[in-house]
């Protein structure tokens, strides 16, 4: 199984924050257009939020195929229930994806997760360094897979997605203190698993 | 890794803890500090210094943490951080967007709510017709009862 990493250039589309800042393209306006029958307008919301949601699903499940499926099902669900959105669309759709990931993890226990980035240009100076990185990638995946879903989710949101604790608390409906505890425990568990090799 | 500069719920009391905290002191913490029961692999985990956590949370500069016992932890997490940064750049495969659009229902989304929550509109003509129907029904029931009683 391999990750296929796609690197989009900035010329492909306007930046997300630019689009959101435009009142005509605010989430609420786009939702109104979709609800009034403009199905294609939903593509704006997909483009706007698919990357962070895909990253979350990918890091939670370790499988690009599963991440794509969860993303697809989540957006279909979001479309079907679009009239029920209260508040921020991005937070609402994130919760759909996060729940999809947790449901998948409940049902499937995976012992080995790995990926390669065939499409991504190498950022490392030497082949040896790249080999080391590939090994670290696999080891980190394996270590993440051993964590309970709640710890993995907190670690991914904090470290991979770069969210603040306040934002995480808002999205997950829990407290900053509880999330700090989860992230700390995830770090300690990961370090215990990996430090012998990588410290 | 040092990305959360807004966090204000700090790790109070780490002053002077420039060494790793033992598992024993972790266990002595109040139960309320532990959110869920400890898992199997966590029993093998050692406790990181609060300084390292604070650095990873963006609350302390690296120079403060890169001293004494925690220097090794800093090296470890810098190593991990390079890999994490790579993951942060992963984007959705381009075909997925089209795939999702093709899978969406063709009809516009509608509000699906139970009948008792739906808006109930009563027009005057409908109200009059309903009242008339009720009068007729009541009369019919009364007549039927009177006939039956005889």
Range of the domain at A56: 13-110
- The confidence score (pLDDT) of residue B37 equals 47
Contact A30, A44 (CB under 8 A): yes
Higher pLDDT, A107 or B4: A107
Does B2 touch chain A if contact means CB atoms closer than 8 Å?
no
Evaluate whether residue A1 is within a structural domain: no
When scoring B96, B97, B112, B118 by the number of chain A Cβ atoms within 10 A, the one with the most, hence best to mutate, is: B96
Give every CB contact of residue B142 below 8 A, 6+ residues apart in sequence.
none
Minimum CA–CA partner of A57 in chain B: B92
Contact A6, B93 (CB under 8 A): yes
A17, A103: one domain: yes
Biggest CA-to-CA distance, chain A:
58
Evaluate whether residue A3 is within a structural domain: no
From A77, A110, A143, the end of a domain falls on A110
What are the structure tokens assigned to A192, written together? 């215990």
- The confidence score (pLDDT) of residue A16 equals 52
A106, A144: one domain: no
pLDDT tens sequence across A31-75? 999 998 899 999 999 999 999 999 999 999 988 999 999 999 999
Evaluate whether residue A121 is within a structural domain: no
User: Which residue has tokens 């699903």?
Assistant: A57
B67 pLDDT above the threshold of 70? yes
CATH, residue A181: 1.10.10.10
- The confidence score (pLDDT) of residue B23 equals 44
- The half-sphere exposure of B57 on its side-chain side, counting CA atoms within 13 A, is 27
Instruction: Determine the distance in angstroms separating the CA of B108 from the nearest CA of chain A, rounded to an integer.
Output: 5
When scoring A72, A89, A114, A170 by the number of chain B Cβ atoms within 10 A, the one with the most, hence best to mutate, is: A72
Instruction: Fill in the DSSP letter of residue A3.
Output: B
Instruction: Determine the distance in angstroms separating the CA of A66 from the nearest CA of chain B, rounded to an integer.
Output: 12
Does B96 touch chain A if contact means CB atoms closer than 8 Å?
yes
Q: State the sign of the Cα–Cα–Cα–Cα dihedral A163, A164, A165, A166.
A: negative
Question: What's the rounded Cα separation, in Å, for the pair A180 and A154?
Answer: 8
A103, A180: one domain: no
Instruction: Determine the distance in angstroms separating the CA of A160 from the nearest CA of chain B, rounded to an integer.
Output: 5
Question: What's the rounded Cα separation, in Å, for the pair A132 and A127?
Answer: 9
Q: What percent of chain B has pLDDT over 70?
A: 64
Inter-chain touch A34–B109, beta carbons under 8 Å: yes
A184, A104: one domain: no
Listed residue (A57, A52, A100, A60) closest to A76, CA to CA: A100
A131, A199: one domain: yes
Higher pLDDT, B80 or A135: B80
Minimum CA–CA partner of A156 in chain B: B84
End-to-end CA separation in angstroms for chain A:
28
Confidence of residue A138 (pLDDT cuts 50, 70, 90): confident
Contact residues, chain A, for B47 at CB < 8 Å: 188
pLDDT tens sequence across B45-61? 568 889 999 999 999 88
Minimum CA–CA partner of A73 in chain B: B100
A17, A98: one domain: yes
Contact A71, A54 (CB under 8 A): yes
pLDDT tens sequence across A78-130? 999 998 888 899 999 999 999 999 999 888 754 444 444 444 434 444 556 66
Backbone angles phi, psi at A117, to 5 degrees: -120, 70
- The confidence score (pLDDT) of residue B70 equals 85
Contact residues, chain B, for A159 at CB < 8 Å: 1, 56, 81, 84
pTM for the whole thing?
0.66
Minimum CA–CA partner of A147 in chain B: B41
Q: ipTM exceeding 0.90?
A: no
Evaluate whether residue A140 is within a structural domain: yes
Exposed (0-12), middle (13-18) or buried (19+): which is A72, by Cβ within 10 Å?
buried
CATH, residue A29: 1.10.1740.10
As a whole number, mean pLDDT of residues A125-141 equals 72
- Alpha helical stretches, state H, chain B: 23-27, 50-56, 62-65, 70-88, 94-103, 124-149
- The confidence score (pLDDT) of residue A24 equals 73
Q: How many CB atoms lie within 10 A of CB A174?
A: 15
Contact residues, chain A, for B104 at CB < 8 Å: 39, 42, 75-76, 79
pLDDT tens sequence across B86-105? 888 999 999 999 999 999 99
When scoring B72, B104, B110, B119 by the number of chain A Cβ atoms within 10 A, the one with the most, hence best to mutate, is: B104
- The confidence score (pLDDT) of residue A128 equals 61
A106, A131: one domain: no
Evaluate whether residue A38 is within a structural domain: yes
- The confidence score (pLDDT) of residue A195 equals 82
Evaluate whether residue A118 is within a structural domain: no
The strand pairing partners of A117, in sequence order, are A3
Number of domains in chain A: 2
Listed residue (B58, B44, B47) closest to B17, CA to CA: B47
B20 pLDDT above the threshold of 60? no
Residues 40-59 of B with CB under 8 A from A: 41-42, 44-48, 53, 56-57
The closest CB to that of B100, out of A46, A136, A147, belongs to A46
Evaluate whether residue A61 is within a structural domain: yes
Question: What's the rounded Cα separation, in Å, for the pair B82 and A124?
Answer: 11
Question: What's the rounded Cα separation, in Å, for the pair A138 and A147?
Answer: 15
The Cα-based distances of A90 to A154, A159, B94 in angstroms read 18, 19, 20
Contact residues, chain B, for A8 at CB < 8 Å: 91, 94
Listed residue (B87, B4, B58) closest to A60, CA to CA: B87
Evaluate whether residue A191 is within a structural domain: yes
A93, A27: one domain: yes
Provide the mean pLDDT of chain A: 81
Minimum CA–CA partner of B98 in chain A: A43
From A62, A81, A110, the end of a domain falls on A110
């Amino acid at each position: 199984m391999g990750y296929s990493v796609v690197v989009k250039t900035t010329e492909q589309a306007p930046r997300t924050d630019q689009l959101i800042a435009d009142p005509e393209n605010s989430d609420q306006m786009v939702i109104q257009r979709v609800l009034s029958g403009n199905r294609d307008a939903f593509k704006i919301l997909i483009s706007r939020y698919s990357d962070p949601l895909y990253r979350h699903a990918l890091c939670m499940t370790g499988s690009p195929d599963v991440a794509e499926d969860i993303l697809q099902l989540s957006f279909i669900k979001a479309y079907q229930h679009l009239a029920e959105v209260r508040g921020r669309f991005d937070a609402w759709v994130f919760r759909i994806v996060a729940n999809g990931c947790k449901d998948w993890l409940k049902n499937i226990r995976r012992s080995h997760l790995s990926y390669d980035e065939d499409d991504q240009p190498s950022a490392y100076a030497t082949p040896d360094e790249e080999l080391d990185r590939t090994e670290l990638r696999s080891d980190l995946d394996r270590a993440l897979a051993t964590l309970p879903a709640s710890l993995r989710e907190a670690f991914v949101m904090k470290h991979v997605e770069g969210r603040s604790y306040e934002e995480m608390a808002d999205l997950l409906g829990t407290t900053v203190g509880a999330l700090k505890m989860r992230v700390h425990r995830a770090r300690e568990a990961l370090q215990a698993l990996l430090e012998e090799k990588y410290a | 890794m040092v990305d959360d500069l807004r966090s204000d719920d700090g790790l109070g009391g780490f002053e002077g803890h420039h060494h790793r905290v033992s598992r024993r002191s972790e266990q002595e913490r109040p139960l309320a500090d532990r959110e869920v029961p400890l898992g199997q692999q966590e029993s093998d985990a050692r406790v990181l210094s609060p300084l390292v956590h604070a650095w990873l949370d963006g609350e302390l500069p690296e120079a403060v943490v890169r001293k004494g016992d925690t220097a090794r932890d800093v090296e470890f997490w810098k190593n991990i951080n390079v890999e994490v940064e790579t993951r942060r750049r992963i984007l959705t495969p381009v075909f997925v967007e089209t795939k999702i659009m093709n899978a969406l229902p063709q009809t516009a989304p509608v509000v699906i709510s139970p009948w008792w929550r739906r808006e109930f509109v009563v027009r005057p003509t409908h109200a009059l017709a309903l009242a008339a129907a009720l009068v007729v029904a009541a009369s019919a029931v009364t007549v039927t009862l009177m006939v039956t009683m005889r």
